């Protein structure tokens, strides 16, 4: 059995086999003719073991990477393609995603399954752009769901967390290609939080990073622009991270000196301005020092208070954590298992270097996230199981029932998924 590992190395598994399917017929035959559990995998960029499988078959959709116009303002996209290749092709065809996250290595299938998101109060997660979903169910039968046909099942499976079926193709609502004018600068964290709603909605896309012990928010803002492109400066984020790590190691004993050095590092790395087409502007470089991550989505109105508490807790108990926290906003949707279900959200992500102990940090920040009824990102690390999740998702029972209808024999249920879903 060949070892499989996710991007950060936090999930390691030993599937009996890894099958790359190239057509719907292959996929249907695989499901019908095999026994045991199957688990889809995209790019393996989830931090939680949501894609991992021992004693079963790992399935990837290498052949499902087509991108075609479905109708004006809509594209039909294979679920196995990576967002980077998909967005380049969409751009060439006169289409665009209205929003993207901070990398483009994920597959569309993976991004839809976990409600992957970017930032901006006008924009929902990737699944909120869906208008039709084609899946192969647990009996190997093809199903096409949309807001017009089987709308309840569609809403239950649009954020499917890899249960209910293998997504092979999706029709997504698209925008016209646009250019983004992006600026990055540092301000005091308290100034950002005092004027939070106005600042987070002042531009099309706003997010910020907070570096433990610095007192500074590094803000990234974008607006659509018709201006001529200005080349993106060389990405120095990894160099900045290495400096933060060194500063933490050498100066942990002297908080005032540490803060001073952090402010110098932030000043030398925070300023950035460029104008690029959307598909080049969104993704950033996250290779280099790898990390683990937990991210919770909180009701927008409690976000600033929750962030203050998370910052205070990390600075007191985990001052050595040098990876920035990331703070974003996401618009509400009506998808049963979306963490943004019926609520505009503030997302707070806490990262720590891969290979370093993560559990204690995660459990500590979770005390704050749980207090404010945060819902965890499905692809990131968290400790919740079905009992708590059911209380956080008003449409939980409907989604579980839909999953049962699509996969009555539990062909897609690993032990991790069984704990998550209460099966």
What contacts 415, CB < 8 A, 6 or more positions away? none
| The two structure tokens encoding residue 28 | 């249907």
CA distance 36 to 57: 8
* 231-266: burial string, b at 16+ Cβ within 10 Å, e else: eeeeeebeebbebbeebbeebeeeeeebeebbeebb
**Only segment of 156-164, 210-218, 219-227, 387-395 that touches ligand FAD (CB under 6 A):** 156-164
Q: What is the DSSP letter of 51?
A: G
Query: How far is 373 from 175, CA to CA, in rounded Å?
Result: 33
**Is 45 near ligand FAD (CB under 6 A)?**
yes
Note whether 101 binds ligand FAD by CB under 6 A: yes
Token digits of residue 301? 């109105």
- Binding of ligand FAD by 103 (CB under 6 A): yes
Q: Which position among 10, 28, 114, 345 is part of the footprint of ligand FAD (CB under 6 A)?
A: 114
7 binds ligand FAD (CB under 6 A): yes
Rule CB under 6 A: is residue 21 a binding residue for ligand FAD? no
Sign of CA dihedral 96, 101, 102, 108: negative
Of 39, 199, 204, 343, the one binding ligand FAD by CB under 6 A? 39
Q: How far is CA 178 from the centre of its chain?
A: 22
Q: With binding defined as CB under 6 A, does residue 350 bind ligand FAD? A: no
Is 166 an interacting residue with respect to ligand FAD (CB under 6 A)? yes
Residue at token pair 């979903």: 133
Mask 263-292, x = binds ligand FAD (CB under 6 A)?
-----------------------x------
158 is a contact residue toward ligand FAD (CB under 6 A): no
Binding ligand FAD (rule: CB under 6 A), the pick from 21, 31, 41, 314 is: 41
Q: How many residues contact ligand FAD, by CB under 6 A?
A: 33
Alpha helices in 271-346 (DSSP H): 278-281, 303-317
**15 is an interface residue for ligand FAD by CB under 6 A:** no
- Alpha-carbon distances, residue 279 vs 91, 100, 171, 308 (angstroms): 7, 8, 19, 33
309/312 Cα distance (integer angstroms): 5
The residue from 138, 162, 304, 324 that contacts ligand FAD (CB under 6 A) is: 162
**Contact (CB, 8 A) for 361 and 395:** no
Q: Does 42 bind ligand FAD (CB under 6 A)?
A: yes
User: Shortest Cβ distance from residue 208 to ligand FAD (Å)?
Assistant: 14
Stretch that binds ligand FAD, among 157-165, 174-182, 217-225, 265-273 (CB under 6 A): 157-165
Least CB distance from residue 288 to ligand FAD, whole Å? 10
Residue from 46, 131, 205, 329 in contact with ligand FAD (CB under 6 A): 46
Identify the CA nearest to 333 among candidates 145, 154, 113, 155.
Answer: 155
Residue 50 interacts with ligand FAD (CB under 6 A)? yes
**Residue 324: strand, helix, or coil:** coil
Among 28, 38, 78, 117, binds ligand FAD (CB under 6 A): 117
Q: Which residues pair with 169 in a beta bridge?
A: 78, 134
255/288 with CB nearer ligand FAD: 288
**Least distance CB 151 / ligand FAD (angstroms):** 19
Indicate whether 294 belongs to the interface with ligand FAD (CB under 6 A): no
Q: Minimum Å distance from CB 107 to ligand FAD?
A: 4
Helix, coil or strand: residue 393: coil
Phi then psi for residue 276, to 5 deg, are -140, 160
In the complex, the smallest distance separating the C-beta of residue 187 from ligand FAD, rounded to whole angstroms, is 22
- Spatial separation of the C-alpha atoms in residues 351 and 338, rounded to whole Å: 22
Query: By C-beta, is 50 or 96 nearer to ligand FAD?
Result: 50
Which spans of this chain sit near ligand FAD (rule: CB under 6 A)? Answer: 7, 39-46, 50-51, 61, 79, 101-103, 106-107, 109-111, 113-114, 116-117, 160-162, 166-167, 286, 377, 379
């Amino acid at each position: 059995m060949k070892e499989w590992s996710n991007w950060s190395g936090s999930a390691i598994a030993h599937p009996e086999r890894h099958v790359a399917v190239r057509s719907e017929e292959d996929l249907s035959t695989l499901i019908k003719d095999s026994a045991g559990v199957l688990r889809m995998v995209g790019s393996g960029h989830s931090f939680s073991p949501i894609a991992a499988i021992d004693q079963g078959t790992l399935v990837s959709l290498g052949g499902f990477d087509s991108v075609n116009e479905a109708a004006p303002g809509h594209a039909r996209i294979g679920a196995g393609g990576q967002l980077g290749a998909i967005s380049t092709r969409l751009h060439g065809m006169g289409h665009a995603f209205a929003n993207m996250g901070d990398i483009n290595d994920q597959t569309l299938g993976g991004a839809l399954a976990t409600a992957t998101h970017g930032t901006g109060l006008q924009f929902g997660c990737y699944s909120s752009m869906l208008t039709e979903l084609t899946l192969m169910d647990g009996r190997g039968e093809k199903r096409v769901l949309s807001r017009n046909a089987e709308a309840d099942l569609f809403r239950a499976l649009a954020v499917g967390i890899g249960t209910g079926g293998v997504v092979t193709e999706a029709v997504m609502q698209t925008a016209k290609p646009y250019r983004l004018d992006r600026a990055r600068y540092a301000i005091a964290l308290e100034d950002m939080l005092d004027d939070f709603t106005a600042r987070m909605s002042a531009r099309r896309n706003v997010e910020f990073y907070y570096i433990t012990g610095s007192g500074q928010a590094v803000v990234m803002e974008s607006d659509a622009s018709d201006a001529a492109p200005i080349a993106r400066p060389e990405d120095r984020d990894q160099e900045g991270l290495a400096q933060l790590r060194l500063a933490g190691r050498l100066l942990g004993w002297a908080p005032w000196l540490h803060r001073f050095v952090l402010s110098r590092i932030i000043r030398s790395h925070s300023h950035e301005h460029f104008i690029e087409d959307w598909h080049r502007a969104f993704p950033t470089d996250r290779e280099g020092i790898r990390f683990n991550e937990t991210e919770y989505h909180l009701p927008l109105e409690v976000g600033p208070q929750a962030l203050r508490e998370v910052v205070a807790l990390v600075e007191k108990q985990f001052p050595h954590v040098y990876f920035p926290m990331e703070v974003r906003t996401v618009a509400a949707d009506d998808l049963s298992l979306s963490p943004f279900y019926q609520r505009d959200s503030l997302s707070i992500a806490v990262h720590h270097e891969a290979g370093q102990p993560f559990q204690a940090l995660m459990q500590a920040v979770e005390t704050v996230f749980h207090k404010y009824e945060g819902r965890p990102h499905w692809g990131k690390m968290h400790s919740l199981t079905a009992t708590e999740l059911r209380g956080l998702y008003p449409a939980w029972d409907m989604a579980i029932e839909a999953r049962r209808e699509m996969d009555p024999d539990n062909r897609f249920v690993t032990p991790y998924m069984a704990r998550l879903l209460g099966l």
